[in-house]
C-alpha cells in the first residue's frame, strides 16, 4: 500500500490547527475535526503535493476508497448517525483531504452541508479524548 515515498509529506498547518490526530492508516492520516457540532473525520493521504484525487496513483485512489469506506463504517457504528457525508473540496486548503461527517436530523446544519454553516465549537477534553479513543479502536483494532 505504501508504494510511493511519503517522506516529504507534511500535514498542512491549517488542517493541523483544526484537527486532532486519530491514527495512521496505510495511505491516510485520520484526524478528528475539533468541532463538537458534528462527529467529523478528516482523511489526509500522506502524499506530497496531492490536491485532486487524480493526483494520486491508481493504486492510491483504490486505497483511498477502501479507507473512506472503512471510516464511514467506523463513524456510523460509533455514532449511530442518520447519514454520512463524504467530500473532497479543497478550495481553501489545497492539500488533498477527505471529509467524513456523521449527520443527524437534529444537528445544527441539517439537512444542509456542514461547510461554512457554523463556527467550529471545540470539544471538551473528556468528550474529545473519548471520541478519539473510540475511533482509533474501531479503525485500527477492528478495521473491517
- Let me know: does 19 contact 42? Beta carbons within 8 Å: yes
Identity of the residue, 25 or 123, whose beta carbon is nearer to its own copies in the bound complex: 25
Site for its own copies in 65-94 (CB under 8 A): 65-66, 68-69, 72-73, 76, 83-92
- Let me know: does 22 contact 3? Beta carbons within 8 Å: no
d(CA 115, CA 94): 16
Min dist. Cβ of residue 77 to its own copies (A): 11
Identity of the residue, 87 or 133, whose beta carbon is nearer to its own copies in the bound complex: 87
Stretch of 8-16, 28-36, 56-64, 125-133 lying at the interface with its own copies (CB under 8 A) = 56-64
Instruction: Please name which of 38, 20, 18, 37 lies closest in space to residue 29, comparing C-alpha atoms.
Output: 20
- Rounded to the nearest angstrom, the gap between the alpha carbon of residue 34 and the centroid of all alpha carbons in its chain is 11
Interface residue list for its own copies (CB under 8 A): 51-54, 58, 61-62, 64-66, 68-69, 72-73, 76, 83-92, 103, 110-113, 115-116
Amino acid at each position: 500500500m505504501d508504494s510511493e515515498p511519503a517522506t516529504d509529506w507534511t500535514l498542512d498547518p491549517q488542517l493541523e490547527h483544526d484537527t486532532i490526530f486519530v491514527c495512521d492508516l496505510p495511505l491516510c492520516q485520520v484526524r478528528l475535526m475539533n468541532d463538537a457540532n458534528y462527529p467529523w473525520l478528516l482523511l489526509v493521504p500522506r502524499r506530497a503535493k496531492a490536491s485532486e484525487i487524480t493526483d494520486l496513483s491508481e493504486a492510491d485512489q483504490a486505497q483511498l476508497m477502501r479507507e473512506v469506506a472503512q471510516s464511514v463504517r467506523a463513524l456510523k457504528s460509533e455514532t449511530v448517525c442518520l447519514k454520512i457525508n463524504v467530500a473532497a473540496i479543497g478550495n481553501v486548503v489545497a492539500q488533498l483531504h477527505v471529509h467524513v461527517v456523521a449527520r443527524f436530523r437534529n444537528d445544527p446544519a441539517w439537512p444542509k452541508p456542514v461547510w461554512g454553516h457554523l463556527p467550529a465549537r471545540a470539544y471538551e477534553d473528556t468528550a474529545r479524548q473519548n471520541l478519539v479513543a473510540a475511533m482509533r479502536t474501531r479503525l485500527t483494532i477492528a478495521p473491517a
